[in-house]
Structure 1
Amino acid sequence: MPSEAAVFAALGDETRLALVEQLRSGPASIVTLTGKADMSRQAITKHLHVLEKAGLVTHLRIGRTTVWQLERPKFDNARHYLDIISRQWEGALERLRGHVEA
């Protein structure tokens, strides 16, 4: 599934995972998000745009401030996809165990 690939690719970076973790508690401005990072605002913004392109975050402008927030449905879709894969693996392992024990 191509959209899941984009999601997992976007989450495959330590900085982007840290940004997602920060946004779990609610929307945050770029100032707040860069305050906890050892990176420039420009670098953090690039990471946020990767997350946005994957559909994981959105932003809105409030005056001169940009506020970022998680798109929870995209995370739910990714979790559902992982659940499907997990069930497939569990089934394959059960079949293998049955074959080995037979």
Structure 2
Amino acid sequence: MINEYWTKKQNIQLQNDCKKYNIPLMVKKEIERVIEILDSNYGMERSKKDYGGCVYLLVSNEEKEHSKILEKYFLDEEDYEFKDILIENEEEIWISETYITSTEYSIIIIYKINK
């Protein structure tokens, strides 16, 4: 399943999704940080398709969903600008990848890998 966030106006949705899918606090804070940057640079009133970009949180079928997003934006897996490990423990790894899709639009894909 893919969850999408692009503005602070979706804070309740983000809170509910994080509870529902047991998303770690550090992952939630990273999504909030990115949304804060997007809102401060592009405004809170924008839609997902407007300038700025969005965050995709993958909570199931990570590999399949990841491929769908990349295909939507005509990207390859190696096209990311930044790749960070948000959390790594004995059970899982949470990863954040930033893709620049145009001069004024980027996407961040956050997903986990089970060990």
TM-score by length of 1: 0.30
Higher strand proportion = 2
TM-score, normalised to structure 2, is 0.27
Larger radius of gyration: 1
